[in-house]
């Protein structure tokens, strides 16, 4: 080989090496984006590992209680739960029972998310994603089931609607606003393509909720009174199938794309170690769910009394106050991620939860009401359906560029204040019949 060819070969080798390195970095970036996208939909928690052999910590009962109960400052609100029960039996003041129950459930909602995340260490991402889909909004589901049991169909509809509106406007708005203040010299960036997919799923949910209302208000039912209910139940089954297919596509068909990066596993080993064992996670999930169920019973029973004593419409309580409890942990998480310039995760916490509620919780409650013999349908009435439709359109326009700043966040928060004021002066035409 001539000496003149040696530099050329060396140069070619270096160029090939740089190209390989660039491709490797590009693949890593794509993996990170796709992994974040899965977490965004609420299907995976940021710390869900692949299903490998996980070391299970051996905690004593006192240590387990210390980790779950005393490691979070929000748990200082836990005593308000028993206090609500005492007030119910001693004073029977509906307003105070409602307020104390509302405060007492707040830390329980956050701890349910923590226990689910811990259990997901031992189940792997597929089952972990399903667990997160089930327990991610379990507080709203439990309150809704208790309300359904009491025949309070409008409270169920308004609570779930309020949770969607709160996530899309208040939670996402606060995340954009706080992140924008911290990084005020630039626009924060998130996955534009995924934002469009999120918007499409939300619009599908709006379609399922909109058509029964249109059918009702155009008086075009084939069988008056029954066609609307039949359409709602059919649409609910379709929405549940669509959500199940969506989860399957994420967790199975695209599972290879969402595997955690090796370097992330090496650099965050401590973050990926579970704090409690599998059995402890199951026990804590059972205890917390039972406690939320107990408090939800008192909460739902006190809604009407609180509305009368505070002179506040039940629609405002259901749409604005109740969702704040279920979204408290998500609210804090979305803001925290945004302030660390992790907008993909913030968007996932807010929009992903809205998708869970609209595509899973709402149709699930219709099916549960069907089983209970309650005529729960997807006709949320004209005012509420229009509010949801406009909100989805506004949020879709705000996120379509794939960038965020504090101005966009402020606009979303102001939009939520308009929504809150609208429900404060709104008299529900179905209030007497539905509640």
Q: How far apart are CA 161 and CA 383, in angstroms?
A: 12
Asked if residue 101 lies in contact with residue 299, where contact means CB atoms within 8 angstroms, the answer is yes
| pLDDT tops 90 at residue 83 | yes
What is the structure's pLDDT at 38?
A: 44
**Is residue 48 included in any domain, yes or no?**
no
Asked if residue 309 lies in contact with residue 94, where contact means CB atoms within 8 angstroms, the answer is yes
Domain range enclosing 373:
61-255+277-425
* Confidence bin at 329 (pLDDT 50/70/90): low
**Is residue 23 included in any domain, yes or no?**
no
Joined together, the tokens standing for residue 370 give: 């069907």
Q: Tally the domains of the chain.
A: 1
Report in angstroms the alpha-carbon separations of 69 from 15, 107, 354: 56, 10, 28
What is the structure's pLDDT at 351?
A: 86
Average pLDDT rounded to a whole number, residues 362-382: 91
> Which range among 7-16, 29-38, 167-176 has the greatest average pLDDT?
167-176
Of 425, 212, 413, the residue nearest 315 (C-alpha): 425
| pLDDT tops 60 at residue 202 | yes
What is the structure's pLDDT at 225?
A: 67
Instruction: Encode pLDDT of 88-107 as tens digits.
Output: 998 878 899 999 998 898 88
Average pLDDT rounded to a whole number, residues 320-341: 79
What is the structure's pLDDT at 262?
A: 32
Average pLDDT rounded to a whole number, residues 365-374: 91
* Confidence bin at 259 (pLDDT 50/70/90): very low
**Is residue 32 included in any domain, yes or no?**
no
Joined together, the tokens standing for residue 392 give: 């989805």
What residues contact 109, with CB distance under 8 A and at least 6 apart? 139, 292, 325, 326, 328, 329
| pLDDT tops 80 at residue 3 | no
Higher pLDDT, 329 or 400: 400
Q: How many CA atoms lie within 13 A of 386 on its CB side?
A: 6
CATH of the domain at 374: 1.20.1420.30
**Is residue 353 included in any domain, yes or no?**
yes
Instruction: Encode pLDDT of 373-428 as tens digits.
Output: 888 999 898 999 999 999 999 999 999 888 988 999 999 999 999 999 999 988 87
Q: By mean pLDDT, which of 144-148, 270-274, 305-309, 358-362 is the weakest?
A: 270-274
What is the structure's pLDDT at 223?
A: 73
Average pLDDT along the chain: 79
**Is residue 149 included in any domain, yes or no?**
yes
Instruction: Encode pLDDT of 22-69 as tens digits.
Output: 445 445 544 444 444 444 444 444 444 444 456 677 778 888 888 888
What is the structure's pLDDT at 161?
A: 93
Instruction: Encode pLDDT of 210-241 as tens digits.
Output: 999 898 888 877 877 688 899 999 999 999 99
> Which range among 9-13, 80-84, 117-121, 150-154 has the greatest average pLDDT?
80-84
Average pLDDT rounded to a whole number, residues 247-261: 54
Asked if residue 38 lies in contact with residue 258, where contact means CB atoms within 8 angstroms, the answer is yes
What is the structure's pLDDT at 260?
A: 34
**Is residue 366 included in any domain, yes or no?**
yes
**Is residue 91 included in any domain, yes or no?**
yes
What is the structure's pLDDT at 54?
A: 61
Q: How far apart are CA 96 and CA 335, in angstroms?
A: 30
Q: By mean pLDDT, which of 73-82, 229-238, 321-330 is the weakest?
A: 321-330
| pLDDT tops 70 at residue 267 | no
Q: By mean pLDDT, which of 25-29, 56-60, 73-77, 293-297 is the weakest?
A: 25-29
Joined together, the tokens standing for residue 434 give: 């539905």
- CA dihedral (164, 165, 166, 172) in degrees, to 10, reads 90
Average pLDDT rounded to a whole number, residues 161-166: 92
**Is residue 30 included in any domain, yes or no?**
no
Of 207, 175, 176, the residue nearest 333 (C-alpha): 175
Asked if residue 88 lies in contact with residue 100, where contact means CB atoms within 8 angstroms, the answer is no
């Amino acid at each position: 080989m001539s000496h003149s060819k040696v530099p050329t070969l060396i140069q070619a080798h270096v160029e090939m090496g740089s190209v390989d390195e660039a491709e490797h970095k590009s693949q890593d970036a794509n993996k990170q984006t796709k992994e974040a996208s899965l977490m965004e939909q609420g299907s995976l928690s940021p710390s869900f590992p692949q299903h490998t052999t996980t070391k299970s910590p051996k905690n004593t009962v006192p240590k387990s209680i210390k980790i779950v109960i005393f490691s979070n400052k929000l748990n200082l609100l836990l005593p308000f739960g028993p206090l609500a029960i005492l007030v119910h039996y001693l004073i029977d003041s509906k307003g105070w029972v409602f307020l104390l129950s509302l405060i007492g459930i707040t830390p329980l909602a956050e701890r349910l998310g923590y226990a689910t995340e811990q259990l997901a260490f031992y189940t792997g991402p597929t089952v972990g994603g399903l667990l997160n889909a089930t327990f991610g909004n379990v507080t709203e589901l439990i309150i809704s089931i208790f309300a359904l049991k009491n025949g309070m169909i409008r409270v169920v509809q308004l609570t779930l609607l309020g949770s969607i509106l709160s996530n899309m406007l208040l939670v996402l708005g606060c995340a954009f606003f706080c992140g924008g203040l911290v990084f005020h010299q630039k626009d924060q960036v998130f996955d534009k393509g995924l934002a469009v997919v999120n918007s499409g799923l939300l619009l599908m949910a709006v379609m399922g909720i909109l058509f029964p209302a249109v059918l009702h208000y155009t008086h075009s039912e084939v069988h008056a009174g029954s066609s609307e209910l039949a359409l709602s139940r059919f649409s609910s089954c379709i929405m549940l199938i669509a959500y199940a297919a969506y989860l399957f596509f994420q967790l199975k068909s695209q599972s290879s794309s969402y595997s955690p990066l090796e370097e992330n596993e090496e650099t965050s080993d401590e973050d990926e170690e579970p704090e409690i064992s599998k059995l402890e996670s199951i026990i804590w999930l059972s205890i917390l769910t039972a406690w939320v169920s107990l408090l939800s019973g008192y909460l739902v029973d006190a809604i009407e009394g609180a509305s009368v004593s505070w002179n506040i419409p039940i629609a405002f309580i259901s749409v604005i106050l109740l969702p704040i409890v279920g979204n408290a942990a998500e609210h804090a998480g979305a803001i925290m991620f945004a302030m660390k310039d992790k907008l993909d995760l913030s968007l996932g916490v807010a929009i992903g939860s809205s998708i869970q509620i609209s595509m899973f919780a709402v149709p699930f409650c219709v099916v549960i009401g069907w089983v209970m013999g309650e005529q729960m349908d997807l006709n949320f009435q004209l005012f509420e359906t229009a509010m949801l439709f406009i909100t989805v359109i506004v949020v879709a326009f705000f996120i379509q560029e794939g960038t965020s700043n504090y101005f966009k966040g402020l606009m979303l928060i102001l939009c939520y204040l308009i929504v809150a004021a609208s429900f404060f002066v709104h008299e529900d035409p179905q209030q007497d019949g539905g509640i």
